[in-house]
Chains A and B, each alone.
Chain A
Amino acid sequence: MKQVAIVSGKGGTGKTTVCASLAELAEKKVIADCDVEAPNLHLLIDSEVLREKDFYGSKMAQIDREKCQKCEKCLAVCRFDAIRDFSVDELKCEGCAACVFICPHKAVIIRDAITGKTILSASSWGKFSHARLNIGADGSGKLVTEVRKNASGYAGEDDIVIIDGSPGIGCVVIASITGCDAILVVSEPTLSGKHDLIRVLDLAEHFGIKAYVCINKYDLNAGMTEEISDHCRERNVQVLGCIPFEREVGQAINRGVPVVRVPHSAAGRAVKEIWANLSKELSLVKDIQL
């Protein structure tokens, strides 16, 4: 089993767009959407939910009003400003249990809190593991780990787990990339895109994960594309391909059609080439026909 995460650093570069096309092209695969805060992959594929499960990703304090003597010891010890009027603010509570420990009247308990739900779906791509994080919830990294566990559980020896990642470099992205055979960074030729690419490559290096790059909408700014390519070359990161900007492709995506199914599309051909290169790098079993 191989695992590859599609990340970007910067939002909106085209991770989900590229991921959907790779899912189309890959023969033996399981798909995972680890962008648990704003999942979009399910919008690009007809899928049927097989199983949904509540996910307990953090803890929450709860004050029993009848036992509470209003001594305010909990207020004094809470570092997250989560206690107001002797009641717990669930958006702020981090579930540390300091209030539970300090309360002399045993009026506070800590309970497991539902922070989201994991979903397993059947799709034309095969098994699809995804999730939704509750608004403002803690423990997003843990939910990502659970999504990946569910995906790997269905993956056979010859399968590739293709992971749609999220923007950023914090706990959600870290949980999405650790243990992967490689990451594919979808970059864009903008100053912000280059800056954010560098940070995500730094992250991959920090965790010792092999990184590849592709540049989406590369013809928007040839100079910036060259700067990105130069940077990748300097740090021995391979650019697997460059995808041209095509307005029709954006419109197709909005209708749920992956790029590689758009007829006569240069962008489609570019993505197929990226997949061929990635498959070769990951030594996947089958030969890929372009």
Chain B
Amino acid sequence: MIISVLSGKGGTGKTTVATNLACSGPKTAYIDCDVEEPNGFLFLNPAIEQREKVNVMVPSIDKDSCLACGLCSKWCQFNALAQVKNKLLSFLQLCHGCGLCTLVCPEKAITEVPREIGVMERGEFDDNVFIHGMLNTGEPMAVPVINRIIEEIRGITGDFIIIDCPPGSSCSVIAAVEKSDFCLLVTEPTPFGLHDLKIAVSLISAMNIPAGVVVNKADDSTRIIREYCEAEGIPVLMELPFSKRVAQIYSTGKLLIQ
């Protein structure tokens, strides 16, 4: 069973919930899809066994065959190729790896070459599978790294796979959540937590994935979350009370269950 942990809002406690759950019960793999700022490894201290570059395929122009016709530049929807007078300029960070330029070129002057945008690492913690990825500094697109990680989880056996998702509501979150059977939405009982929880709920509703809510840093205001969840028919599965002591333990990189 694949369970995603997401939130919309940053800092609500996704990694806290995901890492502690991964250590709490049956055989559970932990997959960190927050490739911009992965944190799970700080708490799980995995022994890394495999490290792999994540590449996207980008155009390489054979200058001898290129007639500067400008067709590839005209067809590229991402402005990754630009024909300026007789020069073809490439802005490879904008390339989505669709391969269209290779099809369009009448001289077959374009081939695709790999360009590294990040890394994926795989290892073990407590006899469980650990996988995470890291987007290289300065690279804009996280999705190809997330997709590589999701592809890697296909061979995993065991009872559960927990996917620690990035904050937000964009294509990165969609890529991380897509293959899930269930979503745990981690929120905090503040107007900001509620606002962004609603965004997360829209996202998983659009993908038809069932969900439950975890209220972290719960206090007297928790009812604002409960009222919303009741109205939407989403179960509140867990409340973790606000605790300065818990925050201090977290700050040192320790798991709460320890």
Q: Give A residues with C-beta under 8 Å from B.
A: 8-13, 16, 37-38, 40, 43, 59, 77, 79-80, 91, 94-98, 101-102, 110, 133, 135-138, 140-141, 166-174, 188-193, 195-196, 199, 202-203, 206-207, 220-221, 224, 245, 250, 253-254, 256
Q: Which of B20-28, B84-92, B198-206, B226-234 lies at the interface with chain A?
A: B198-206
Identify 11 residue pairs between A and B in the complex whose beta-carbon atoms are under 8 Å apart, listed by A's number.
A9-B37, A16-B192, A37-B170, A38-B9, A43-B195, A98-B100, A136-B169, A136-B173, A136-B206, A167-B36, A171-B142
Asked if B252 contacts A10 (CB within 8 A), the reply is no
Whether B37 pairs with A43 at a CB distance below 8 angstroms is: no
CB-nearest residue of chain B to A168 = B36
Q: When A and B form their complex, which 5 residue pairs have the shortest distance between CB atoms, in order from nearest?
A: A12-B11, A11-B10, A96-B98, A191-B253, A171-B140
A138 vs chain B, min Cβ distance (A): 5
| Among candidates A40, A94, A110, A170, residue contacting B140 with C-beta atoms closer than 8 Å | A170
- Identity of the chain A residue whose Cβ is nearest the Cβ of B242 in the assembled complex: A247
- Complex Cα–Cα for A250 and B190 (A): 9
Contact partners of B135 in chain A: CB under 8 A: 169-170
* Contact A38–B167 (Cβ < 8 Å): yes
Q: Are B203 and A135 in contact (CB under 8 A)?
A: yes
Least CB distance, B99 to chain A, in whole angstroms: 6
**Known contacts A12-B11, A171-B141; is A136 also within 8 Å of B203 by CB?**
yes
Q: Which residues of A contact B141 (CB under 8 A)?
A: 170-171
**Among A11, A133, A168, A220, which residue has its beta carbon within 8 angstroms of that of B251?**
A220
Residues of B in contact with A (beta carbons under 8 Å apart): 8-12, 15, 36-37, 39, 42, 75, 77-78, 96-100, 103-104, 135, 137-142, 166-174, 190-192, 195-196, 199, 202-203, 206-207, 221, 244, 247-248, 250-253
Quick one: which of A37, A91, A110, A199 contacts B77, CB cutoff 8 A? A110
Q: A43-B191, A43-B195 are in contact. Are A12 and B12 (CB under 8 A)?
A: yes
For B201, the closest partner residue in chain A by CB is: A135
Q: A167 CA to B38 CA in the complex, in Å? A: 12
Q: Which residues of A contact B11 (CB under 8 A)?
A: 10-13, 167
Once the chains are docked, how many angstroms separate the CA of A137 from the CA of B135?
Answer: 20
Q: Closest residue of chain B to A38, judged by CB? A: B196
Complex Cα spacing A58 to B179, Å: 24
**Residues A206 and B37 in contact, CB atoms below 8 Å apart:** no
The interface residues of chain A lying within 8 Å CB-to-CB of B206 are 91, 135-136
Taking CB as reference atom, which chain A residue is nearest B168?
Answer: A37
Given A40-B9, A137-B170 in contact, is the A195-B39 Cβ separation under 8 Å? Answer: yes
A191 and B42 within 8 A (CB): yes
A82 to B119, CA, bound (A): 25
Given known A135-B199, A192-B39, contact A221–B248 (CB-CB < 8 A): yes
The answer on a CB contact under 8 Å between B167 and A79 is no
A205 — nearest CB in chain B belongs to which residue?
B137
Which residues does chain A contribute within 8 Å of B171, judged by CB atoms?
136-138, 140
Q: Complex: how many Å from CA A245 to CA B217? A: 15
Residues in B with CB closer than 8 Å to A196 are 37, 39
A256 to B36, CA, bound (A): 30
A12 to B15, CA, bound (A): 12
A96 pairs with B137, CB closer than 8 A: no
Which residues of chain B are within 8 angstroms of A95 by Cβ–Cβ distance? 77
Closest CB in chain B relative to A162 CB, distance in Å? 18
Residues of B within 8 A of A38 (CB): 8-10, 167-169, 195-196, 199
B168 in contact with A172 (CB, 8 Å) = yes
A51 to B206, CA, bound (A): 28
User: Smallest CB-CB separation from A141: which chain B residue?
Assistant: B140
A19: shortest Cβ distance to chain B, in Å?
12
* A136-B206, A170-B140, A188-B251 given; 12 more Cβ-contact pairs under 8 Å: A9-B37, A10-B37, A12-B9, A40-B195, A77-B99, A101-B104, A167-B10, A169-B137, A170-B139, A191-B253, A192-B253, A199-B36
**A97 CA to B78 CA, complexed, in Å:** 10
Q: Within the assembled complex, what's the spacing in Å between the Cα atoms of A102 and B42?
A: 47
Q: Please name all residues of chain B whose beta carbon is closer than 8 Å to the beta carbon of A97 when the two chains form the complex.
A: 75, 77, 100
- Min C-beta distance of B94 to chain A, whole Å: 10
In chain B, what residue has the closest Cβ to A78?
A: B98
Q: Which residues of A contact B168 (CB under 8 A)?
A: 37-38, 140, 166-168, 172
A192 to B248, CA, bound (A): 12
CB neighbours of B99 from chain A (8 A): 77, 79, 98
Question: Which B residues are in CB contact (< 8 Å) with A140?
Answer: 168, 170-171
Q: A37 vs B97: C-alpha distance in the bound complex, in angstroms?
A: 24
How near does chain A come to B205, taking the closest CB pair, in angstroms? 9
B251 in contact with A206 (CB, 8 Å): no
Q: B38: nearest residue on chain A (CB-CB)?
A: A195
CA distance A245 to B242 in the complex (A): 14
Residues on B with C-beta less than 8 A from A40 are 9, 192, 195-196
